[in-house]
Amino acid sequence: MKAIIPVAGAGTKLRPHTYTQPKALIPLAGRTILSIIIDQLVDAGITEFVFVVGYLGEKIQHYVEKKYPQLTCYFVQQNSREGTGHAIALTREVVGNDEVLIVLGDTIAETDYKELIASPYSMLGLKKVDDPRNFGVAELNEDGQITRVVEKPQIPKSNLALVGVYKIKETKQLYDCLQNNIDNKVKSHDEFQLTDALECMIEHGVRFNGFKVSNWFDCGRKDTLLETNAILLKKYKLASNPVLPYENTIIIPPVSIGEGCNIKNSIIGPNVAVGDNTVINYSIVKDSIIGSFSNLYEVVLKSSLIGSDANIRGLSQSLNIGDNTEIDLG
């Protein structure tokens, strides 16, 4: 089995951070979104990965090759972003006839991946949501078999959203349906959707069962990213990493602090992730993500997402600034 992770999106909802950093590499609870996904799948026994890259794809490739040299990795370029269906279709030659586990690059879902891989059926990850109109939606029969999937329906017939995890056994049928949709310009919401190809497979008799995930984290927007950071910090039970006696500083867990940080005269936490080699002095930071190689002096931050190589002086309450930024609020 190969894992396919599409990470070609521009991440426009997380700008300005995604001007200089792929969304999948944004720090989260002392890790990155992508590393959390890969680690889940490696723990389940997967060693072959296919990454669909595009925007800032060289950063994805460099990160994966450096952090996971033991894995067999393929990088497929998606030059024009025409939807998830188009992205997956590009992987046909690399995948061949192998079964695939597709996990969208901004999806962190908690489930038993070993059990999922062992299932004799193709499987789609599902989660009940209050408003399913912004998601792919699955309809099930009494046996738990999926009878229909539709992308972002205006009038949903189900509240079961597709969470972005797909285990496909019938890969030939998948790629045939994807290619048929592309050849015949079958689009939903102006894009070639993976959901439409799955519906094509269902119509041609392929059986899909649904499996429910215990948690599903949205990493696509600043507010939900900060919420996810707080949840995962608690889950990983992080205080600081490593625990160091920072000068005249109070650490309120859960907090993740990267290597080489210089923190003095400050209060850090709760729910704070700090990247490597960051300097914080005379500051109070809570419920925030701070990138690497940043400098914070005399600031009060809450609910903030700060990129790498940022310099901030003065006082503030909530910021959303990207990499290589310098701000003086004094």
pLDDT given for residue 200 in this prediction: 96
6 preceded by cis ω (within 30°)? no
> Within the chain, what is the greatest distance between any pair of CA atoms?
66
pLDDT tens for residues 290-326? Answer: 988 899 999 999 999 888 888 888 865 666 777 767 6
Q: Which residue has the higher pLDDT, 195 or 241?
A: 195
Over pLDDT 70: what percentage of the chain?
90
Comparing 46 with 154, the larger pLDDT belongs to: 46
Q: Which of 256, 259, 291 is nearest to 270 (CA)?
A: 256
Tokens of 63: 């990160």
pTM of the model: 0.86
Per-residue model confidence (pLDDT) at position 1: 93
CA dist 294 and 280 (Å) reads 8
pLDDT tens digits for 90-109?
Answer: 999 999 999 999 999 888 89
- The arithmetic mean of pLDDT across residues 70-84, rounded, is 93
pLDDT for the residue numbered 243: 52
Higher pLDDT, 8 or 196: 196
Domains, the chain: 2-220 (3.90.550.10), 241-313 (2.160.10.10)
